[in-house]
Chains A and B, each alone.
Chain A
Amino acid sequence: MIKRVSLALTAAVFALAAGAADLEAKTPPNVLVVAKNIDDIVSLDPAQAYEFTSGEVVSNIYNKLVEYNPADVEKVMPGLAESWTISDDGKTIIFKLKSGVKFASGNPVRPEDVVFSLRRVIVLKKAPAFILAQFGWNADNIDQMVRKTGNDQVTITIAENFAPSFVLNALAARPASIVDEKEAVKNAKDNDLGNAWLSRNSAGSGPFTLRVWRPGESLVLEANKNFAGGAPKMNQVILNHVAEASTQRLMIESGDVDIARNLGPDQIAALRDKAPIKIETYPQAALHFFSLNLKHEKLRDPALWEAMRYLIDYDGIATTLLRGQMKVHQTFWPTGFPGAVEDRPYKLDVAKAKEILAKANIQPGLTVDMDMISSAPFTDIGQSMQATMAQAGIKLNLLPGTSAQVITKYRARQHEMMLLYWGPDFMDPHSNAKAFAYNVDNADTAPQSTTTWRNSWLVPELSARTRAALVERDPAKRLDMYRELQRDVLKSSPWVMTFQAQAQVALRKEVSGFIHGPTNDLVLYRNVSK
């Protein structure tokens, strides 16, 4: 009797569950459901958003004066500005706003909104403020530097005669998003310029509005009916937080999600031949490298740096371990961007590395600690490096840690060797040139977020050239200057650039129009249909 009741109960439980499972077999036709790790979001205020996912969300909610062209990242295209004129000295840009553009609230986009938005980034001084602060803007001068000069006109002033392409690229970056001043002010508290409210609400003019964000659970974007480019085809885009790649794979196979964003090589390989699924690969701007901290005497010999360039199995790692998630890249500006150099003179050559070490009288047995983030692909790359370095007598001790732990150590220059990645903050070569070829003050009391300072590499000559490129007005000549910088850094730096990331995304076959640009600012859902 008990057995029969138990069996009946079990059958009833699964029947109940199975019925519900059938109800949910497919995503609704006008809703795009995405599986993604979204627990990196801290804030959705464009003046504060600095994480991968928040960047992507902000880009789908807000417009900027000028915007990147997803189809051609070499060009900046009009956003809220219809046109702009640049003064002869390059220090003043006058933007004429498009007429008739409205925020999702129904309020018109006005010059006051532009002034308010750019000003609040500087005044709030949150993480991405440095991108606009490069223009010489600060809380004291911002009111003079960004002004309304007409009913449809804003004039911005730059402290120095920077190259216009640099300025426009920085203005196309996330923190330059234009916020609805009236909404932000209405919801401001304690003079925060609406920061707390905008962290979990939206006030933009982009294709979507934020309906709800539940940290660590999901985020829902809703179509903005007032969007100047026409309402998106999807009524909603739901980003479901799914941290585990294997789970994402099962969900897209089952049709519970339309797009899976964080799949590893194993999951991609398993999904490649599944009929209802397509795999798309998008080149990314993020570059992977390892660096040597010159604070340590034993790591200062350039011959050691040179030898290490020959002790990485670039092709083996790319094809066997990373399987399409990265490609070999050896210069500091990624492929696909204006001015990128694709030279890759180095490959695994243990004999040559040994010869270089012997010539420099560096004896076998050198031991170096290498910090790295304790997850793939860092662990895979680190282990491969450990094996190939050992062949030349260099003992690599791997020190895995959490991302925050590794960055803390790096920031304090307490590492010996570091395996890490770098992504540009805007799509101008200066973003990376400053990181990899500029350091004029190596003092501990002058901390910089650049790779040069963090590895104690003082480079006055390269810094001068980086500075010269920044103010060069001739676009072609400017790009040539960056190309030369890349080639010189490739040969002489105490770090080795190894790979450029590629995002591999699984989509249900019926999904089209998804744009995944080289940075998170260019992950766009407005054209998606299914």
Chain B
Amino acid sequence: MSQTQAQTHGADNGKPQFYLTEDHHPEGSTMLGFWLYLMSDCLIFAVLFATHGVLGRNYAAGPSPADLFDLPLVALNTAMLLFSSITYGFAMLQMERGAKIETLFWLGVTGVFGAAFLSLELYEFNHLIHEGAGPTRSAFLSSFFTLVGTHGLHVTFGIIWLITLMVQVGRHGLIEANKRRLMCLSMFWHFLDVVWIGVFSFVYLMGVLG
């Protein structure tokens, strides 16, 4: 650390520098690669959003969003995902400090909020299907279940990943590889929250608005 600092400072030589003198290649390209994966995932969701935008008003004489959606439940769901985002942030801050137990604690809290989100969503799906508003009822419901279900599936895999990483951190501690993995999951988790903003604005609120 001190060597690298001495080198960069030596290049300064007291003169002000207005540009980077060294061509910097990031050592680990994992973060960039994972970001590119997220962007491709973003395209999947864009296509599903477009499908819902096209089919979202085709009720086939069936129930409309205003009949079906329970906005307080959706608001609670949104709160769960938002809380899980901030607690994951706390986990990342503890990871930077190198505090293993605290990191595991906040990861656990994140997992609980994520599981609460999933249970509420499954409850909603179950309720809709029992009311006869399953994915086969109308084009609107097909596209709704596909879009929201794909998001839910992502959250499910995020939770599996989270538990795996908790076991890894518990066994091997906050080693460099585990930090890298935690940072990837952090991006994944916050990205899912970003997609959910689109879901509750575009699907639920705009749907109920009619």
| Interaction A to B | no
Chain A residues within 8 Å of B, Cβ to Cβ = none
